[in-house]
Structure 1
């Protein structure tokens, strides 16, 4: 809850800043926000391997991912590759080894993105039933000690990173989410600018999460 309150305060401070500046922010990337949260009781240092899909899910509020025959939509590879490679690079730098999802990884990282002016981070877990090992109906996400924030009026382009603990599904069919990262404000501008901002903001998410390092 403390970090959620900090995010709210930071957002208010941003509004005050732009209101006091005659011309507001000069560049789009000045409005990017990076938010992270984690389970303080989770022993990250005891984990060694991770798995990550080779696609980035595109979240659409009009989708119905639990309907028969539904297939996910993916983010353009130009941006997806930047997202995936930056996550992998940071995980390797923190001492983790990437493995296939069938190799019983210690951590599974699920990146996704959406384009909307109203964003709900607590999206439908069915988006990942194509990837998550052993997925069955009734599973969901379990967030430690806080409820994922609902953020309204977000500028187009937001990215989410969920780090999950696949080996500790609870008796209530909840999959522990041990770390989350949210980046608001991406996917505006040209390809090179967006790719640079993707790298910088994901790097920032890991930089402000030193507890992930082994």
Structure 2
């Protein structure tokens, strides 16, 4: 519980930290990297064995919200998507999970996305995942059992969010539980080589500060 509170506090003071730590302005993008994680502390991660992830990473742009079931999201460029997916996959395997195809009824599904907006909206439309999530349909959505996502009023464009869901624990109201959330603020900035390195470092950090995920 302590780390959970600390992480929430860290996000709430992003603006203060950015100004206070760098009175003359930061010299490098990675000086502004902040990793936030939160989770359902009543969830039994150790009872889960398998996971899957998409083959692409979606872009979420608040100016172009989907408004029909045939909506097709935009995707992050392959070089960045590959780094994001590789880092998630490697960490999950190192934690003892086995990757399977989505048709094999995985215990966990991890959904990575990049926000192309300065505001963070956790309750983004289900249509973004209609192309991937098995059995997804109208009226479905997310809920966060045992914890509540942070209320972040401002984030930098390019922030990466990872949501770990339990596809086999659908509620009576057609909601899928998000049991873990990881956010890296403003990651996709700078040149490709630097950004790719930061992706690996910060996603590794998100898993490092989440030891309860270990299988």
TM-score (norm 1): 0.92
Please tell me whether the aligned partners of residues 51 and 106 of structure 2 are also in contact (alpha carbons under 8 angstroms): yes
Note the C-alpha offset of 1:4: 5.8
Evaluate the alpha carbon distance shift between residue 9 and residue 200 of structure 1 in structure 2; reply closer, same or farther with a 3 A threshold.
Answer: closer
SS in 1 for 2:8: helix
Q: Distance in 2 between matches of 1:168 and 1:99?
A: 18
- Write the mapping of 1:191-202 to structure 2, written as runs, cut at 5 A: 191-202=192-203
- Write the mapping of 1:120-131 to structure 2, written as runs, cut at 5 A: 120-131=121-132
Q: Distance in 2 between matches of 1:47 and 1:135?
A: 21
Note the C-alpha offset of 1:115: 2.0
Q: Distance in 1 between matches of 2:93 and 2:32?
A: 29
SS in 1 for 2:13: helix
Note the C-alpha offset of 1:69: 3.0
Look up the match of 1:204: 205
Structure 2: gaps (5+ residues):
none
Note the C-alpha offset of 1:135: 1.1
**1:59 partnered with 2:60:** yes
- Write the mapping of 1:114-125 to structure 2, written as runs, cut at 5 A: 114-125=115-126
Look up the match of 2:43: 42
CA RMSD of aligned residues (A): 2.0
TM-score (norm 2): 0.91
Look up the match of 1:173: 174
SS in 2 for 1:80: helix
Q: Distance in 2 between matches of 1:87 and 1:171?
A: 30
